[in-house]
Structure 1
């Protein structure tokens, strides 16, 4: 069978153009609709993120006040610890000199007496510089031996033993001695 087309060519072209225009318009409409949907989707995401950001900012401000309070309390704790440490150090050192004198006098032989005593503090005790007089050199040797026998005494040095005529015809020996005393030894 043979087909005969009785519709003029211009009408066919016009109809084809209308279909193309309709298809292009439909495509543009779909594209614009998708853009509008995408725009509303983006606006929704932006509002959601803005809400989350505001919530997170409020939570951060709440925690910031808590952190500031904790830091303030840490500062107070550090001050109190420093005071406690000072009090403990004072309590430890309050009887150092009486204990030293008790130990020192127990090892000082009777024929020796002190002219002067100076102390200089050190981190673990103090250094002692004494000036003494004795009638007997053996008492000086006993004194040095006694100092060496007690572990708290160390760095014992004697210097300047001088002999001088004393009253009643007895010579006296004057000397100076330095040593360290470890007050905080366990």
Structure 2
């Protein structure tokens, strides 16, 4: 447990930072949280590579608990249009995080014996794709309004051109596409830090 403490602290910091930064927009489709959250996959992959599957899962569950606490706090903070965190957003956030991170752990473990970059890249891309799909659909899709009938998500279902220039789709689809693009780009950016951190912690595994 002591060996995984840095991973737990790093995951907690990323989750807390992302929950705060998601309130601040970057352009029309993103928030600053989109640029911090993907590094949760880096933490999970480093822990998996250096300390193994069980250690990585402990870090994931610690991050999930921190995320739940952040969501509970968010439900008590009132913004211009109601609480910062609605029931749908809380459900979406928790389900997306846990499913995506555990999938990342499983895929990484399956591919760990291959070339060094394959496991972190494949696991992060699949996990990030799951995370985006689950979060945005559960939080905003009109088809899932029964999850929280009291929350109005009509704004997220307004039909607009995809990312401002494509075919007409609900706004939340553009938000999801932009979010996924950032996650994909950062999955590539994170490869050198992954290699460097693993080399520092356990040179034999690098």
TM-score category (smaller protein): under 0.3
Q: Highest Rg: 1 or 2?
A: 1
Task: Judging by fraction of residues, say which structure has more strand.
Answer: 1
TM-score (structure 1 length as normaliser):
0.26
